[in-house]
């Protein structure tokens, strides 16, 4: 912000009502300014303020990706528990039970991976339209 190379030495104090502060802070949060003082300075000096906007398709993508990540984390935790259980097995019957449970978890994992692939494909098709 130091276009002339001088430091800012003067202060400007402004008192606001709570609702005024909320309104200004809301406008500031949509801008690309890093500090509220930068935003206020631009407004007061009538300089252009760059504002950001929300991309709805990107928001939808992020929501789906977060759901998928949570699903994968749950499945990963189940596999970690299964492997820990495998290391503690002492007898063959326990091992057989573990194999059956493993097969069910494997089918669940493969179904979720297919679901992820399908969702990514849908998002890609929508994005490219």
For 74-96, the pLDDT digits (tens) are 877 887 787 777 767 666 676 77
What's the mean pLDDT in 29-43? 88
Residues 71, 112, single domain; the answer is yes
In this prediction, residue 91 carries a pLDDT of: 67
Residues 60, 103, single domain; the answer is yes
In this prediction, residue 22 carries a pLDDT of: 94
Residue 115 confidence (pLDDT) above 70: yes
Residues 62, 44, single domain; the answer is no
pTM above threshold 0.95: no
Residues 17, 38, single domain; the answer is yes
Written as one string, the DSSP assignment of the chain is --SSS------------HHHHHHHHHHHHTBS-SSHHHHHHHHHTT----B----HHHHHHHHHHHHHHHHHHHHHHHHHHHHHHHHH--SHHHHHHHHHHHHHHHHHHHHHHHHHHHHHHHHHHHHH-
Structural domain that includes position 26: 13-53
Domain count, the chain: 2
Within a domain: 8: no
């Amino acid at each position: 912000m130091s276009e002339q190379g001088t430091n800012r030495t003067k202060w400007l104090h402004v008192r606001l009502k709570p609702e005024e502060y909320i309104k200004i802070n809301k406008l500031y949060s949509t801008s690309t300014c890093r500090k509220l003082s930068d935003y206020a300075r631009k407004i007061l000096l009538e300089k252009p303020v760059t504002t950001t906007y929300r991309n709805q398709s990107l928001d939808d993508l992020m929501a789906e990706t977060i759901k998928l990540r949570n699903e994968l984390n749950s499945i990963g935790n189940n596999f970690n528990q299964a492997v820990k259980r495998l290391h503690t097995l002492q007898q063959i019957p326990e091992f057989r039970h573990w194999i059956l449970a493993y097969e069910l978890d494997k089918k669940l994992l493969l179904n979720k991976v297919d679901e992820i692939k399908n969702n990514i494909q849908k998002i890609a098709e929508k994005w490219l339209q």
